[in-house]
């Protein structure tokens, strides 16, 4: 009689576990909508170990034309298309009305309220400056002036700040003829700050118009 509890108790435990649906091995059924039936698309291409510029987001904008123009715009206006500074320079890239007229734009109001036009004017002006500076770019790029390595992007950024003529004087004088704008920014500052961008995609065009 003393052995029956040892037989009855395990039977009771088994019945309780079965009543709760306990099994030692269960199979989970995944709903059809959650099943993966094909490879999941990924952000980066297969067999690539470097970043593609199309995936790059701020604050790093790359070292090509897009990165160059946005870095320059941030320095000029913090990227604001609709700003006018105290000297009357307009927009994201801070153009004067005289330069706009060279590009074929005669309405400052139209220019200031049209971001697409501002981007076209910037590219057109860079193309113009690249044509004007083409011989200086060919001769000075890779050289050093006052310890600054001269690059194409640095030359064109400086030309945007102070005009091609002043950049030519600076380079020809071996850095002795530096100039500053009304806010104290020097041509030399731009040669340093914007050096090393690859803007080879910009064509040098004589007297371009928007």
User: Which pLDDT score is estimated for 10?
Assistant: 56
Per-residue model confidence as pLDDT tens digits over 112-130: 999 999 999 999 999 999 9
pTM value is 0.70
pLDDT band for position 182 (50/70/90)?
confident
Instruction: Tell me: pLDDT of 143 over 70.
Output: yes
Instruction: Parse the chain into domains and list their residue ranges.
Output: 53-193
Q: Rg of the Cα trace of the chain?
A: 33
> Which CATH number describes the domain made up of 53-193?
1.10.530
Task: Indicate the average pLDDT of the chain.
Answer: 80
Mean pLDDT value of segment 27-38: 46
Q: How far apart are CA 52 and CA 26, in angstroms?
A: 46
User: Which pLDDT score is estimated for 112?
Assistant: 95
pLDDT band for position 39 (50/70/90)?
very low
User: CB within 8 A of 114, min separation 6: which ones?
Assistant: none
Least confident of 41-45, 152-156, 183-187: 41-45
User: Which pLDDT score is estimated for 62?
Assistant: 78
């Amino acid at each position: 009689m003393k052995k029956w509890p040892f037989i009855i108790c395990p039977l009771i435990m088994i019945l309780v576990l079965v009543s709760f649906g306990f099994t030692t091995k269960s199979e989970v059924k995944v709903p059809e909508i959650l099943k993966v039936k094909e490879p999941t698309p990924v952000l980066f291409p297969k067999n690539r170990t470097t970043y593609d510029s199309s995936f790059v987001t701020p604050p790093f904008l790359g070292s090509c034309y897009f990165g160059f123009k946005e870095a320059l715009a941030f320095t000029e206006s913090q990227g604001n298309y609709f700003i006018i500074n105290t000297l009357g320079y307009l927009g994201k890239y801070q153009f004067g009305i005289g330069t706009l007229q060279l590009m074929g734009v005669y309405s400052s109001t139209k220019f200031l309220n049209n971001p697409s036009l501002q981007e076209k004017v910037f590219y057109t002006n860079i193309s113009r400056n690249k044509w004007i500076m083409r011989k200086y770019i060919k001769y000075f790029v890779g050289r050093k002036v006052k310890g600054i390595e001269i690059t194409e992007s640095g030359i064109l950024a400086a030309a945007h700040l102070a005009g091609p003529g002043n950049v030519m004087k600076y380079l020809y004088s071996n850095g002795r003829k530096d100039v500053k704008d009304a806010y104290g920014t020097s041509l030399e500052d731009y040669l340093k700050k914007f050096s090393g961008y690859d803007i080879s995609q910009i064509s040098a065009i004589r007297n371009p118009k928007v």
